[in-house]
Amino acid sequence: MSDSQTASASDLPRAWPFEEARKLADHVATRSSTGADERPALLETGYGPSGLPHIGTFGEVARTSWVRQAYTALTGRPSRLLAFSDDMDALRKVPDNVPQREMLQKYIGQPLSRVPDPFGTHESFAAHNNARLCAFLDSFGFEYEFASSTQYYTSGRFDAALQRVLEVHDQILAVILPTLGPDRRATYSPVLPLHPRTGEVMQVKMDAIDAAAGTVRWTDPATGEVFETPITGGHAKMQWKADWAMRWYALGVDYEMSGKDLIDSVRLSGRICKILGGTPPAGLTYELFLDEQGQKISKSKGNGLSVEEWLRYAPPESLGQFMFNQPQRAKRLYFDVIPKTADDYLTHADKARALQAENPAGNDLRANPAWFIHKGSVPEDAGSPVPFGMLLNLASVANADTPEVLWGFIRRYDSAVSPQTHPMLAELVKHAIAYYADFVRPAKTFRAPTDKERAALVDLAETLRGFEGEAADASILQNLVFEIGKRHGFEPLRSWFGCLYEVLLGQKEGPRFGGFVALYGVPETIALIDAALLRDTQV
């Protein structure tokens, strides 16, 4: 494919990052059609350093990285990813999860890069959170360039673009003012000067704009004093929607995705970018995360799931899988989604390894989420011979509180498997123990079987006794379980499996039961059935 060509829809792997990559390639081709602009494609993500990085930060950087990976595969052209920190924004409120909150209260209205670090480890609150951001992104192996709003403003990187803002100031106002309420409209300015004495980011009306001099004149509402402030050199910054547009224009951003809640802001910033003389970037509007009740996740409400919490219960690849799945569809982000997402990842990793061996450059491989999660090369040890859900059920019936308990069953099931030969499985075992202890064990509720179910369970136990002493084959055992369900007239057949999960495991859902029997052991499963039937008679 030449630099000026992009693939047709039929040529693309069936994965959303490639659809986005084509949009990016079209955008780059348009701005470089004259041959005068051959710089690498610039993809950007934004970060507000008033708080620590969160799961949404991971999602946006991960998804943008996958678009970049697809763009490289599609075009062979270079690209850059800029992780931009808005650290010149003013501190609006003191976060609840930081020390020295009373001290921070004194700095409300100050740029975050001038607010002291309440943790005492960096020169400013912004520097502390920026360092946490970089460490966070580095821990996942993202490739990016970090950018500080304060550094870009104070170094003069934005000076030419800011000068352009003053030249078209009235046109920008004409776009923004109709979107504001009466009170806000009366004092709004796209330019926010920094107070020369207090350092506060001033949200005041401009008395005069001098484009030739590159200054704005304004009045301090507290003292009535009039100031004339240069907009260059970090003496002023832009109001955020105008700031976003100015940044796109100044840096030539080609791609930036954003959440559904910013649709109107993207549209408005795009109009301002055009007024400045730039072209708004291509981008994806992704849906928001919801909690278990279907409510929008909010950091202030604390109704979300943190990255740290997710990684306690499943490997980082599973979090990547969650972020990869249908970004334009709202998804509930709570603890119950973790086991299925982990197993989805394992399924994709197994398929990807097979496809990688057959055709490393094939579209089927490049449509696989594991190809993106592993940056184009899926390692041989990426999968697991035992699904995560199966490990959880094994932990449940064994009441396991250490990995060694589960490994005893796993080694008996397959003596060739060990933590050394299957590191992903070893990681999953540890996560399964933690998830079982925190979520499965407290929620276990056994029910008594009906007469019909009791007869089927007795039949299952008796049939399984014929397999004692033999090597257990999961598929044969699964067929056996099916046949017993049919023999006892369960309709639909899933009601029979519901009986197995609720009566034997104390939970609503469970694994493929034949695979579970093979892993747990035939004698142990018979004992499990006998104990459940005995428990019923003692109630």
- Segment 72-87, tens digit of pLDDT: 999 999 999 999 999 9
Position 213 pLDDT exceeds 80: yes
What pLDDT does residue 175 have? 96
Would the pLDDT of 515 be above 50?
yes
For residue 3, what pLDDT is reported? 42
Q: How high is the pLDDT of residue 49?
A: 85
Amino acid at 112: L
Q: 192-199 long-range CB contacts below 8 Å, 24 or more apart?
A: 192/236, 192/237, 192/238, 192/239, 193/218, 193/227, 193/229, 193/231, 193/235, 193/236, 194/111, 194/229, 194/234, 194/235, 194/236, 194/237, 195/220, 195/227, 196/227, 196/229, 196/235, 199/110, 199/111, 199/114
Query: Which residue ranges make up the annotated binding site for ATP?
Result: 299
Domain 451-534 falls under CATH 1.10.10.350: yes
Residue 80 CA, distance from chain mean position: 20
Work out the end-to-end distance of the chain between its first and last CA atoms, rounded to an integer number of angstroms: 72
Buried-exposed string 398-434: b where 16+ CB fall within 10 A, e elsewhere: eebeebeebbebbeebeeebeeeebebbbbbbbbbbe
Q: Which amino acid is located at 397 in the chain?
A: V
Report whether 273 contacts 248 (CB < 8 A): yes
What average pLDDT does range 365-381 have in this prediction? 95
pLDDT of residue 37: 64
Confidence at 205, pLDDT banded by 50, 70, 90: very high
Is the pLDDT confidence value at 329 over 50?
yes
The pLDDT score that the predictor gives to residue 137 is: 92
What would the mean pLDDT of 516-527 be, rounded to a whole number?
92
**How many CA atoms, within 13 angstroms, populate the side-chain half-sphere of residue 32?**
18
Helix orientation angle between 513-520 and 474-487, rounded to the nearest 10 degrees: 130
> Between 423-435 and 388-398, two packed helices, what is the crossing angle to 10 degrees?
50
pLDDT given for residue 5 in this prediction: 47
> Residue 411 contacts by C-beta under 8 Å, 6 or more apart in sequence?
417, 418
Task: Kindly report, residue by residue over 402-452, the tens digit of the pLDDT.
Answer: 999 999 999 988 999 999 999 999 999 999 999 999 999 998 899 999 999
Question: E strands, 65-205, where?
Answer: 79-85, 145-148, 191-193
Homologous superfamily assigned to 16-155? HUPs (3.40.50.620)
Cα torsion 157, 160, 163, 164: sign: negative
Q: Please give the helix or strand (H or E) that residue 267 lies within, else none.
A: helix 263-276
In this prediction, residue 48 carries a pLDDT of 87
Region 505-528: mean pLDDT is: 90
**Which tens digits make up the pLDDT trace of 268-325?**
999 999 999 999 999 999 998 887 777 776 654 555 678 889 999 999 999 999 999 9
d(CA 533, CA 457): 8
Give the DSSP per-residue string, 43-105. EEEEE-TTS---HHHHHHHHHHHHHHHHHHHHH---EEEEEEE-TTSB--S--TTSS-HHHHH
Distance CA 114, CA 107 (A): 8
Which of 445, 454, 455, 458 lies closest to 502 in space, CA to CA? 445
Q: Which pLDDT value is given to residue 298? A: 60
Lowest mean pLDDT among 36-45, 316-325, 338-347, 485-494: 36-45
Q: Which amino acid is at 175?
A: V
Mean pLDDT, rounded, of the chain: 91
Average pLDDT over residues 105-131: 95
The secondary element (H helix, E strand) that includes residue 305 is none
Each domain of the chain, given as residue ranges in start order, spans: 16-155, 159-238, 307-374, 388-442, 451-534
Is pLDDT at 539 greater than 50 in this prediction? no
Task: Look at residue 331 in the predicted model and tell me its pLDDT.
Answer: 85
Query: Which pair of structure tokens corresponds to residue 256?
Result: 């930036």
Identify the DSSP state of 114: G
Q: List the binding residues.
A: 299
pTM for this prediction: 0.89
Which stretch of DSSP H or E encloses residue 480?
helix 474-487
Q: To the nearest whole percent, how much of the chain has pLDDT over 70?
A: 94
492: preceding bond cis by omega (within 30 degrees): yes
Residues 505, 535: contact at Cβ < 8 Å?
A: no
Give yes or no on whether 16-155 and 451-534 have one common fold. Answer: no
Mean pLDDT of 245-252: 97
- Least confident residue range of 161-175, 410-424, 460-474, 490-504: 460-474
Token couple for 196: 């020369």
Phi, psi of 105 (to 5 degrees): -60, -30
